[in-house]
Chain A
């Protein structure tokens, strides 16, 4: 029997940690993890902390998968994914975002968008390369860059500018070692989007400094008021961009882990090598479901997007009325209000909100530079829950106000 003590030190008495790769040892656990643990012990919590749709995967998608299983479609697919799926992805991207990829050698179906980002980084990074990451951003970019041997370089974006990346801020961080720029718009956690006018000067900097771009467009379908502008659609950016996306957000398919990467055949070919030696291929049942979503899922997707848009209006108005400054998110399903006027750090605010008012939200600090002082509130939850959460946040802000004046 292995005792707890033995687990920690090994039979030889040596700490097992000493075997770990130094790169992995240096990685800190996600700040979200702490809140996950805190929330897990509490009851009756309203969660605005969830980064996934509150819809179930549309029934026709689930049904297509079940039917394929009944027919015994359970084997490997080609490494890059079923040809029909890659064809479907190519058609979809062409019609929705005016970007054209050859399904034969420019698209890989991956295990979620996350694997696609990991593949892109591992295919590109040489030790010591600097990877530019506009922040606040999705929590994984920086750690997986470091695990891949790269050096993450955060570029702070600001609430006053609706968290958009500017060419000047990007250029200020570029050094001779800069190699890759990771973009994620619409943004998790800020809900910021970039227009064509916003992108054009960025593209010039990318070209001038010969950067490769990994454009994570997982929230591309969730924009409100203006259409998403895909980064590779900009002049000169097609060949130097790896477009990463997936089915999780648009089609409410988070657990399926279905994503894809598209880019220049040389880049995709390099990524495919890593993909085939690590996961072989994306799950076949997930690929069937993804193809069904692309083929027949647009109406459901529109219905879900409409619903997020309605709730976006509700939460922004509610948070402002509760006494928090909140810029208007134009994409994804997060509001990112400022808690600075309360005098608490984002971590303190989120912890007290969770423990005292039973509302879970994620402190902005976990999303990197520029996130401190903000709170990520997902509005992918029911209207009734949103209303209740807003009421509780309002009561909490009032309590903080009283504490400050006492």
Chain B
């Protein structure tokens, strides 16, 4: 990609300010798309540098129980892709933080790969994370994404051998999603001991920003990653706070405010404020 993408520019600006990027994750449509729009605005105003939006999928094998339950709640209300894209179009102009879609390739394939990429672009997404599209299968799709000036974020796992990592990094743009643990998404008390070595090794192989996700839930873990990673991704801990929204009679405003407060605390840790 000749010119910097929105994601690359965001990381570059943060690096100049000696800050780590904080990236919260939420699922679209839990409990409904209108509330998702409100949550996105709250996350942005609470200091999120990028925001990941999970597209609900019926069989998300990379996700743990918290995010799976969030997807199930959204799908139980029959949320459709069309509504998600419309909602993203309506909020993306107001939010300066790049929005990144987390989508199963099953959904993209069914929708039509080219159509999906065009729709992602027109609804204001800056990139996509496709957890079940490993680098080996990603070449054609990555080219489509590049044509639309979107980043296709590549993932590297603790189980990825060095020679595979080299191949994956050759195709990577935007940032590298470093999976902190072998397993699914979800809160872990402690980060795996090998993580620092993995980040050190990746750092020597690429100039792309390294962002760590899976298992991150608190300021201490963010502090632990300072100097080793350029960003952190927090999903399940935030999605867990949103669970009450599906319960009738819950005060939506106060739940969203509590998510904002949590996001603020994590963003402050990442920004060292």
**Mutual binders A and B:** no
- B residues with a Cβ closer than 8 A to A are none
